[in-house]
Chains A and B, each alone.
Chain A
Amino acid sequence: NAGVTQTPKFQVLKTGQSMTLQCAQDMNHEYMSWYRQDPGMGLRLIHYSVGAGITDQGEVPNGYNVSRSTTEDFPLRLLSAAPSQTSVYFCASSYSNRDREVEQYFGPGTRLTVT
């Protein structure tokens, strides 16, 4: 299994540009999520999905769109990038094991800079 993969690893955008951060998992997990990490603020939840076709907002959803057309993929779209979106983005997928505990898998992260 490749686990959770994210592309690209690094990206520089200009203000106003759009782009999509890709996230894919090959573990057949229903639940996927996006977090952003900013200095001194830990990780914060942007959007999450409990299954294909279902998405919901997290703590900091403004400026981001998501969709979940397949179980495997959960792309994060920035429609008009702003410098405040400079951050490291982590995608995660998870499942609940037999003991009803969540096993969470994080991707390697995408470092985005908006100038």
Chain B
Amino acid sequence: AQKVTQAQTEISVVEKEDVTLDCVYETRDTTYYLFWYKQPPSGELVFLIRRNSFDEQNEISGRYSWNFQKSTSSFNFTITASQVVDSAVYFCALSEAILTGGGNKLTFGTGTQLKVEL
């Protein structure tokens, strides 16, 4: 069975600080996909990134960066120079094989509440 652990329940930072959200996963499959979603106070789910198990390259998108390390089964997310608008719940998720119909079953972590204060 697959599992995603986000050990940080809540993190508070002051604006402009860097912050890293941790994600550790468990799976027996050699092919799998990792995701990060943002859930702002308005409640919708916003897709941030998808990474497959064969691509260990780190990724940077503006102030966001992701560090994927298969050796430690981790997919951590760093926000550089945090802003108040980054305040949200962030979910890490894992899926295994792509199913018929082009979908997958996501296993989510419990989320990390990030609060960025002035």
Binding site for B on A (CB under 8 A): 29-33, 35, 40-45, 48-51, 54, 58, 88, 90, 93-96, 100-102, 104, 106, 108-109, 111
B102 in contact (CB, < 8 A): yes
Partner of B98, one of A29, A43, A100: A100
Q: In angstroms, how far is the closest chain B Cβ from the Cβ of A39?
A: 9
Least Cβ distance of B15 to chain A in Å? 26
Interface pick from B45-53, B58-66, B78-86: B45-53
**What's the tally of chain B residues with a CB closer than 8 Å to chain A?**
26
Shortest Cβ distance from residue A18 to the other chain B in the assembled complex, whole angstroms: 25
> How far, in whole Å, are A90 and B95 apart by their CA atoms in the complex?
17
Tell whether, in the assembled complex, residue B45 and residue A102 are in contact, meaning their CB atoms are under 8 Å apart. no
Contacts of B110 in A (CB 8 A): 40-42
Residue contact A50 to B101, C-beta cutoff 8 Å: yes
Instruction: With A43-B108, A48-B103 as known contacts, state yes or no: A102 contacts B44, CB within 8 Å.
Output: no
Q: Which of B84-118 contact A (CB under 8 A)?
A: 91, 93, 95, 98-111
A93 CB contacts on chain B under 8 angstroms: 103
Other-chain residue from A30, A35, A42, A88 in contact with B103 (beta carbon distance below 8 A):
A30
Q: Contacts of A101 on B, CB cut-off 8 Å?
A: 33, 50, 52
B99 and A106: CB pair below 8 A?
Answer: no
